[in-house]
Amino acid sequence: MNGAIRKDRMYRYLLVLTVASAIGLQGWRTLFNNFAVEVAGLDGHQVGIIQSVREIPGFLALLVVYVLLVMREHRLSALSIVCLAIGVGLTGLMPSMAGLVVTTLIMSFGFHYYETTNQSLTLQYFDQATAPIVFGRQRSYAAATNIVVGLAIYGMASVLSYAAMYLAMGIVLCGMGLWGFAQNPVRENLPVQRKRMVLRRRYGLFYLLTFLAGARRQIFIAFAVFLMVKRFGFTVQEITLLFVVNNGVNYYLSPLVGRAIVRFGERRVLSLEYGSMVLIFLAYALVQAKWIVAVLYILDHIFFNFAIAIRTYFQKVADPRDIAPSMAVGFTINHIAAVALPAVGGLLWMVDYRIPFVGGAFLALLSLLAVQFIRVPASA
């Protein structure tokens, strides 16, 4: 089975573009905060606005459905990487509030639209026994890419300007996107995807789990690293080392997550994730030891990989023609919480820093209860 996956043209196609996507996002955010402060001269409020702007394209992912009226899905994947390349490459050349809003939007549309089409194409081209494995390998290669990008930036930072580093990454990404345009990995024997919005009552559990996962993830993104820096005094070097260790662990474990989904099923795997996340969020709120918080951060990322099972559950219950529009709708649902949660959580943090994490534990508990309703057809 593994050999057959590696020989599949769509597998290789998506793997290359997934690496490109990881280079773009990791490179952009590794440099962004320092660039925004040191070169663009932005304050914390302005940086917060730009981070909120970054989530807008994820919220608008449902528009992918209409783009597919005029473009084939694998072409949109390649175009998304080119869009990501343009946004990243121009970032260093536009060091102002307005410039960073524009480049962040371009970069983010590229990243989010690639992620949407990647999920859709993976579920269309790989069956229920192989799709979890493919998702796991994509996560593994993305983690390895993050390490390489971090080391490359560490080495380049002393000899290149921010503008040169952003431009170099943009050129590399543009080349990878243009490579995608030159490929034809499609098979013509697949169900034709619906080119309209799809919302069905029988997909309600998928929508709920997707929303809760997005809300819980926003709490982690907004406050986990902030907690480490604000309350436990992590230095830049310690945070960087933690990122490298975290990606190294996930490089080896992500493929195992895919195999676990195939062997044990979505309900068991997601139950383990959500039960663990209840404890992890409560631990964030209660622990006082610096090393324990670092371990919690790594565990959080490991269990986040289990969210693959939400998509593979959908694959088992969905009409095959609904995959592309439903992945677009799901991405939008996943980002609904991104609009309000960071701001609300920030206000609650001012009352007591524990409150956002207790809220995350509550969301994980709701997910744990919801996942018990997972039922898949006997033939799946």
Look up the domain containing 113 and give its range: 1-190
Residues contacting residue 304 through CB under 8 Å, at least 6 positions apart: 217, 220
C-alpha–C-alpha distance, residues 54 and 180, integer Å:
25
pLDDT of residue 278: 96
Q: Do 349 and 355 contact (CB within 8 A), yes or no?
A: yes
Q: For the chain, what is the domain count? A: 2
Q: For the CA atoms of the chain, what is the radius of gyration? A: 20
Same domain flag for 168 and 226: no
Same domain flag for 321 and 358: yes
Residues contacting residue 262 through CB under 8 Å, at least 6 positions apart: 129, 132, 133
Same domain flag for 181 and 208: no
Q: Do 325 and 197 contact (CB within 8 A), yes or no?
A: yes
Same domain flag for 145 and 261: no
Same domain flag for 57 and 30: yes
- Helix 290-304 to helix 266-286 angle (10° resolution) is 160
* Domain edge (last residue) among 158, 190, 222: 190
Q: Do 166 and 89 contact (CB within 8 A), yes or no?
A: yes
Same domain flag for 253 and 307: yes
In a domain, 195, yes or no: no
Query: Residue 131, Cβ neighbours under 10 Å: how many?
Result: 23
Q: Do 23 and 154 contact (CB within 8 A), yes or no?
A: no
DSSP state of 305: G
In a domain, 196, yes or no: no
Same domain flag for 182 and 205: no
Same domain flag for 264 and 301: yes
- Report the candidate in 307, 310, 283 with the shortest Cα–Cα distance to residue 297: 283
CATH number for position 141 = 1.20.1250.20
Same domain flag for 63 and 108: yes
- pLDDT tens, position by position, for the chain (380 residues)? 566 778 889 999 999 999 999 999 999 988 887 888 888 888 767 877 887 788 889 989 989 999 999 999 999 999 999 999 999 999 999 999 999 999 999 999 999 999 999 999 999 999 999 999 999 999 999 999 999 998 898 888 889 999 999 999 999 999 999 999 999 999 988 888 988 888 899 999 999 999 999 888 888 877 887 788 788 888 767 877 888 898 999 999 999 999 999 999 999 999 999 999 999 999 999 988 999 999 999 999 899 889 999 999 999 999 999 999 999 999 899 888 776 777 777 788 888 889 989 999 999 999 999 999 999 876 55
Q: Do 307 and 371 contact (CB within 8 A), yes or no?
A: no
Query: Residue 25, Cβ neighbours under 10 Å: how many?
Result: 24
CA–chain centroid gap for 73, Å, is: 19
C-alpha–C-alpha distance, residues 7 and 126, integer Å:
12
What is the residue type of 28?
W
pLDDT of residue 379: 58
Same domain flag for 70 and 42: yes
C-alpha–C-alpha distance, residues 54 and 228, integer Å:
23
Residue in this structure with the two tokens 């694998």, named with its chain if needed: 74
pLDDT of residue 380: 55
C-alpha–C-alpha distance, residues 110 and 24, integer Å:
9
C-alpha–C-alpha distance, residues 114 and 105, integer Å:
14
Same domain flag for 275 and 314: yes
Residue 274 CA: distances (Å) to CA of 258, 300, 354, 369: 17, 11, 19, 9
Q: What do you get for the CA distance between the two ends of the chain, in Å?
A: 18
Helix segments in the chain, DSSP class H: 2-7, 9-38, 44-59, 64-67, 73-91, 97-125, 131-156, 162-181, 204-230, 236-264, 266-286, 290-304, 308-317, 323-351, 354-371
Query: What does the buried/exposed string (b/e) look like for 91-103 if buried means 16 or more CB atoms within 10 Å of the residue's CB?
Result: bbebbebeebbbb
CA–chain centroid gap for 212, Å, is: 15
